[in-house]
Amino acid sequence: MLFAMTCLALQAAEADNITGGRELYLDFCATCHGVNLEGAPDWQTPGPDGQLPAPPHDETGHTWHHGDAFLFGYVKMGGQAVLDDLGVRYDSGMPPFDGVLGDAEIEAILAYIKSTWPPRVREYQAARTAQEHAERTR
């Protein structure tokens, strides 16, 4: 009984987290990544500045190809810092949100994005997260 109640409480907390994440997403991300996570139009074609437009966060994009730590870092530190760190030469238009959003807020936004994915995509991304964790702790 206690276990069942704890599960319900956790589910309710998770649902609140996702609702909060959706609101934050609409306030801070939707202008570039789309209100329905659909990305910018023609997101695979670089603009006049040579930068790629914001990709979708739904299953048609590639957000789910990345593990949790990568996604968190990308939002907190911005695309440029993460890619520079990896030695990837790329001009990123993804701004850093450090100082704008707290860690828990970034986590809530990512939880919302994930909550929209079908199970197959969630499973793939969870496996990617486990693999990423193994690589980092090796």
- Residues interacting with ligand HEC, by CB under 6 A? 28-29, 31-33, 52-55, 57, 61-63, 66, 71, 74-75, 79, 92-95, 97, 109
DSSP letter string, 35-63: TTS--STTTTS--TTSPPPPPPSSTTSSG
Query: CA 118, 92, 80, 132: dihedral to nearest 10 degrees?
Result: 30
Looking at residue 87, the DSSP 8-state letter turns out to be T
Q: Position of tokens 């993804």?
A: 94
Taking the complex as a whole, the smallest distance from the CB of residue 13 to ligand HEC amounts, in Å, to 21
Taking the complex as a whole, the smallest distance from the CB of residue 16 to ligand HEC amounts, in Å, to 19
Q: Phi first, then psi: what are they for 48, rounded to 5°? A: -60, -25
Taking the complex as a whole, the smallest distance from the CB of residue 40 to ligand HEC amounts, in Å, to 7
Closest CB to ligand HEC among residues 11, 44: 44
Taking the complex as a whole, the smallest distance from the CB of residue 103 to ligand HEC amounts, in Å, to 12
Closest CB to ligand HEC among residues 75, 117: 75
Taking the complex as a whole, the smallest distance from the CB of residue 33 to ligand HEC amounts, in Å, to 5
Closest CB to ligand HEC among residues 69, 130: 69
85, 81, 54, 66: which is closest to 126 by C-alpha? 66
Looking at residue 29, the DSSP 8-state letter turns out to be T
